[in-house]
Homo-oligomer: A and B are copies of this chain.
């Protein structure tokens, strides 16, 4: 650990703008989903559930699909069950497991929210980027995402 190499002005400006973009984008998406009565967390679970086969998904598989830990998933499912968006039932093949299913209300909610959500993502993000910028951002994102914790994990 040498003495700190602070960010140069170019990088600092990027870093700041990057955070402001994230914030702006998140707020736009949250506002649109809130109009549909859903949070981002709700939506992120409802989408894979809506694409699941008829008997739903095991909590374990849903968790790995969205890359959440089991605790986070359990808390969120509790809230969504209370609101009638999903139901839980015992898993027939593994007594530890729980099958998660969309209720009709849950399916209606996600189907009502989805078009507006996509439209929001387009208007506030995708449609503002050129094809080259999309490719650059994909390259940046995958590189950063896959960057091992090098030293010190």
Contacts and interface: CB of A to CB of B under 8 A. Distances in A.
Interface of A: 1, 3-7, 10-11, 13-15, 17-18, 20-25, 28, 67, 114-116, 118-119, 121-126, 128-129, 131, 133-145, 147, 149-150
B17 A118 contact: no
9 contacts: A4-B118, A4-B119, A5-B119, A13-B138, A14-B138, A17-B142, A20-B145, A23-B67, A136-B136
Closest 8 CB pairs of A and B: A4-B115, A17-B141, A21-B141, A14-B138, A20-B145, A21-B145, A21-B144, A11-B126
A7 B134 contact: no
Contacts of A139: 133
A3 B115 contact: yes
